[in-house]
Amino acid sequence: MHTKNMDSTHSSDTTTTTTTLSHSNSSTSQSPASPPAQYGMVNNAPIVVLSPCAACKILRRRCVDKCVLAPYFPPTEPQKFTTAHRVFGASNIIKLLQELPESQRADAVSSMVYEANARIRDPVYGCAGTICQLQKQVSDLQAQLARAQAELVNTQAQHANLVTLICMEMAQLQQQQQQQDQQQQQQQQLLAMSDIFQNDWLFTEEACQGSIWDEPLWV
Ligand SMILES: [Zn+2]
């Protein structure tokens, strides 16, 4: 299935349809060679007088000058009109285009051809099937996004909790370390004091001993 792009490249130059067909009856449109392309010079530029537009050719009618369908259904793309005609009908297409300003007609034709293609592809839902599918996809993705956002908020809260816990534990550890340091200092002080005390004691003992042994018992 080929996709129709919504371009409007078919400018109005294709409206220069031949008016020489007026003498020919409708059967001439059957053979592509019957309306011969005529070449002329207008303002020193060669212009090609094209065969009737695809719509008029398919409808087997005379493609008049200023044919409302000609700018949008060039003879090079007959499938476009066949598709739109099959679903909307020629008179509906013409009516719709006549009711629209010229600036919006190309887009209208593009969307009609798109819709017609979708309807032929899916006779039950047409392009509504595609729209529903896409809407479902959108709501699924929105739900997925909401879940991901909730998960993110949860993870951020957990992270904040963990940081708080780590800070508290670090503070506790620091406090314990300080206490240990203090205890060690106190112990060292105590030890130092006991050393001094012991030295004093030894000294006194030595002094006593000295006093005992240095002195002759008898002279
Ligand atoms: Zn036409």
Query: How far does residue 204's CA lie from ligand 1's centre (Å)?
Result: 135
pLDDT score recorded for residue 131: 95
The rounded Å distance from CA 22 to ligand 1 centre is: 13
**Average of per-residue pLDDT across 172-201:** 89
209 Cα: distance to centroid of ligand 1 (angstroms): 141
Three-state SS at 51 = coil
pLDDT score for 197 = 74
b/e per residue, 164-187, with b = 16+ CB within 10 A? eeeeeeeeeeeeeeeeeeeeeeee
Residue 97 Cα to ligand 1 middle (Å) = 13
Ligand 1 geometric centre to CA of 26 (Å): 13
- Name beta bridge partners: 125: none
pLDDT at 113 over 60: yes
Q: Residue 22 has what pLDDT? A: 38
- pLDDT tens digits, one per residue of 193-213: 888 777 766 655 555 555 555
Q: Which of 90, 88, 138, 95 is nearest to 117 (CA)?
A: 88
Does pLDDT of 114 surpass 50?
Answer: yes
**Dmax of the chain from CA atoms?**
173
CA of 75 to the centre of ligand 1 (A): 9
- E strand or H helix at 129, and its extent? helix 126-213
CA of 126 to the centre of ligand 1 (A): 28
| 64 C-alpha to ligand 1 centroid (Å) | 6
Q: What is the pTM of this model?
A: 0.52
Query: Strand 45-49 relative to strand 38-42: parallel, antiparallel, unpaired?
Result: antiparallel
The 10 Å CB-count burial string (b at 16+, else e) for 58-78 is bbeebbeeebbbbbbbbbeee
pLDDT at residue number 195: 82
Q: Which tens digit of pLDDT belongs to each residue from 41-95?
A: 445 544 444 589 999 999 999 999 999 999 999 999 999 999 999 999 999 999 9
